[in-house]
Amino acid sequence: MTPSIDEILNVLRERGIEPHEQLDDVDVPGIGEIKEGETIYTTSMEEVLEDQDDERFIEDDRLRRWWHEIEKVSETKETPTPSSEPPEPQCAWYCPIHFFGHSWGIYIRESCILSTAINIARFVDWQNLPVQFKSRQAITKQLLRSAFYVYYLHEHFHHKVESLGFRLLITTGSDRYRPYKANVYRTSFRTPQCLEESLANAESYRRLSEARYRNRLATSILYGLRSFLEASFPLQPPGYAQAMNFLGDSRYRNGLYVFQSQVLEGKISPITPPLHWSVAPNSISSLMRISDDIYVVLPRGGHPIFNPTSIDPGATASTSALVGALTKHYDYQQTSGGKGSHVKLTKQGAPNVHIPGNRSVVSPGVVKHVLKAIGGYPISRLPDFLKGKLG
């Protein structure tokens, strides 16, 4: 059974681990931030794999410009130029539960999906694309899926790493994930020794062979996606670039065993024999259903390129708006005790509420946390909450 976020947070707090949910309080590189003028919507892997509404590309200048660029790329004979940018922190990032609590999850910026789709298109053999895949709708769907895979599969690996940390917390009785992040990941980030980023990039390539992803792409586009990754990995910063060393089965497996020992011991050079991990093959697998709620960041007023799930674009709020509504309409009081710039609010007989401070946009996870505290309302009721109409 998949645990809930509250069950996981209770386990962490029982062991003295209190997430901050605030970027300024977390010393972990590679994590991005929602910017002013942006908003968030959630989508799911199922929605990404479904057909998209082609009408939104007629209504949105941003998406029309993107399609014109795809048309130009598909007609050119120029040698493709791969991207040298790593996924994090501008295009995608994973916020770990250990540090961010209700703000946890995969975040992907839409602008990067669009630009990466153009780069992938440069590697596609358009002459051999079957006729049934040559319509605007089919090409759009497959290129956007391909670019989404690049970021989602990379960040999904980071969730698997945290899931290993949860399992080690229970089996060893001590926190292994945060010491690993401090002593191994932080010190090796953007160096060739950063195994986590090497393996995350390698996994984004390797998992394309899974039927769930492979069967939804035309062969020419799948080949173009793989060619794009093979060309771009070596140009990325150290750590990311070493993905090329782990694309094969045996090298990936051996790298994964060494990496799991790094997490266990919190050391770049662990002494645990790597082959010991062969008796625990599922140690580094997803603990949560992370594919159900993926946070996509887009400019305010833009049309989402994937179908939203739990919320509509714009159904987020600022720190001040949430705090103001809680204190004005729901009898909460702001109290001391918030971690870092975190805001803590209390109400007799009701759950405490913790909100990241000074944010123009908080994550949907924080909004869910607030609405649950005042009565378990769905996130779609946020506008009513802000107006004081709930409870």
CB 241 within 8 A of CB 234: yes
Residue 251, token pair as written in the block = 């090298």
Domains of the chain: 5-299 (no CATH), 319-386 (3.30.920)
Please give the single-letter amino acid code of residue 48: V
Rounded distance between C-alpha atoms, residue 271 and residue 229, angstroms: 33
- The pLDDT value recorded for residue 23 is 47
Burial of 49 (0-12, 13-18, 19+ CB in 10 A): middle
- Cα distances (angstroms) measured from residue 234 to each of 29, 37, 82, 239: 21, 33, 10, 10
Question: pTM (2 decimals)?
Answer: 0.85
Q: Residue type for 74, please?
A: S
Q: What's the residue count for the chain?
A: 391
Cβ partners under 8 Å of residue 280, min gap 6: none
**Structure-block tokens of residue 76:** 């050119």
- Check: CB of residue 93 under 8 Å from CB of residue 155: yes
Among positive and negative, which fits the CA dihedral 235, 239, 243, 246? positive
| Position 148, amino acid | F
Measure the CA–CA gap between 369 and 377, rounded to whole angstroms: 10
What one-character-per-residue DSSP string does 66-89 give? HHHHHHHHHH--SPP------STT
DSSP assignment letter at 216: T
Which residues are CB-neighbours of 285 under 8 A, at least 6 positions away? 160, 163
Q: Whole-angstrom Cα distance, residue 332 to residue 325?
A: 9
List per-residue pLDDT tens for the chain, 391 residues long.
Answer: 788 888 999 999 899 888 865 444 556 788 888 887 888 888 988 888 876 655 555 567 888 899 999 999 988 877 888 888 899 999 999 999 998 888 899 999 999 999 999 999 999 999 988 888 888 888 999 999 999 999 999 999 999 999 999 999 999 999 999 999 999 999 999 999 999 999 999 999 999 999 999 988 999 999 999 999 999 999 999 999 999 999 999 999 999 999 999 999 999 999 999 999 999 888 999 999 898 889 999 888 788 888 887 655 556 788 899 999 999 999 999 988 656 567 889 999 998 888 888 877 787 778 888 998 898 888 778 888 999 998 7
Which is it for strands 353-355 and 343-346: parallel, antiparallel or unpaired?
antiparallel
214-233 in b/e form (b: 16+ CB < 10 A) is: eebbbebbbebbbbbbebbb
Phi then psi dihedrals of residue 157, to 5 deg? -60, -40
Which pLDDT does position 52 carry in this prediction? Answer: 60
Which residue carries 């995608």 as its tokens?
A: 92
DSSP designation for 24: G
